[in-house]
Amino acid sequence: MIESEKYRLIRRAVREFAKQEVAPLAESIEETGRIPKELYRKMAQNQYFGVTIPEEYGGCGAGYVAMAIVMEELARASVSATLYVTSPNTLLGLPILNYGTEEQKEKYLVPVMKGEKEGTFALTEPSAGSDAATQNTIARKDGDYYIINGRKAFITAAPLCDFAVVFAATDVSLGARGITAFIIERDTPGYSVGQPERKMGVNGSPTADIILENVKVHKSQILGEEGKAFQMAMKTLDSGRLVVAAQCLGIAEAAMKEAVGYVRQRRQFGAALSEFQGIQFMLADMETKLCCARALIYDAAEKKDAGMNITKEAAAAKYFASEMCNEIAAKALQLHGAYGYMKDYPIERIFRDARVTTIYEGTSQILQTVIAKQVLKGR
């Protein structure tokens, strides 16, 4: 994609913000387990939480090419910081925007855009990861209320959130067609959050279980229609996968920067590592795959902004980009030798942060299935 002046200005502004405000805090974000409140406030002021959300609800409605740029540039500085941006723009924000009532949008979406509230998307369960249609969280109807019991696992930012969009089975016999989404506030009796998980990477955004024990919610807290939540989640995932793909691009670029900088200054056998042809071949392979990922991502983003269905394109972009960023991070660490294994060098954190990208928002294996189904359907 050849960027227009509009997108060049957006990239320049986000890159400067990432360099000045995010990068200096990358290590402290990792150590403290969340981004500082002041940085969170600045991200809200810059409307990073509402790049895909219309202005009437507090966003800026800039679209998915702009969103990809934001994610790419922020991920170069801190992967953890981007997790605060993905949810309001995709998994959390889009279901409320597309399926919520006006009252729900004003109560939940607008405060998130302003940085006054945080929310999360609670679909995954201990026994329902890739098999999201098998929900063991049950919502039993009781007059105008629902009594909800269950446990959600690996929920991003659960310890920090004021509310969650929770998926539960309202009719187990119907499988995926019996799943309903509820907006549940954190202070609702019976709602609790488990201890933050001890993770390999992206430690600047806490992950934990949400436990629901006889949680009573009014029918007005249903998001969308009863029994239609699984389709809602699957449609939202296209956007989420595109955004994560852009995150992967930023991770890979950060790894490339560290690798190139290191091989230029590190000398062995009387010459800089960058002068050895074997090293140059590694860098050539890394850069080529990075360029391929960028083409896939921005092609999908342009199609999304044009109103096209991008199920295949988003899955392909996320699949390729996540595998690519893991490979580039691994090779960049290898080029550092023993130094890359030390926490004193940024590549150690980049390598750990990259690993989860082939798992969340659809594992690589699930995405291969999605892509294959689209290919077989369209030919």
Residues contacting residue 265 through CB under 8 Å, at least 6 positions apart: 272
116 is catalytic: no
Find out whether 58 and 116 touch, Cβ atoms under 8 Å.
Answer: no
Q: One of 73, 125, 253, 361 is an active-site residue; which one?
A: 361
> For residue 169, which phi and psi values (nearest 5 degrees)?
-85, 120
Element (H or E) spanning 97, and its range? Answer: helix 93-99
Cα–Cα distance between 377 and 371 in angstroms, integer? 10
What is the 3-class SS of 218-282, one letter each residue? EHHHEECCCCCHHHHHHHHHHHHHHHHHHHHHHHHHHHHHHHHHHHHHCEECCEEHHHCHHHHHH
Q: How far apart are CA 238 and CA 241, in angstroms?
A: 5
**Helix, strand, coil share (%) of the chain residues, nearest 5:** 60, 15, 25
Indicate which residues carry an active-site annotation: 361
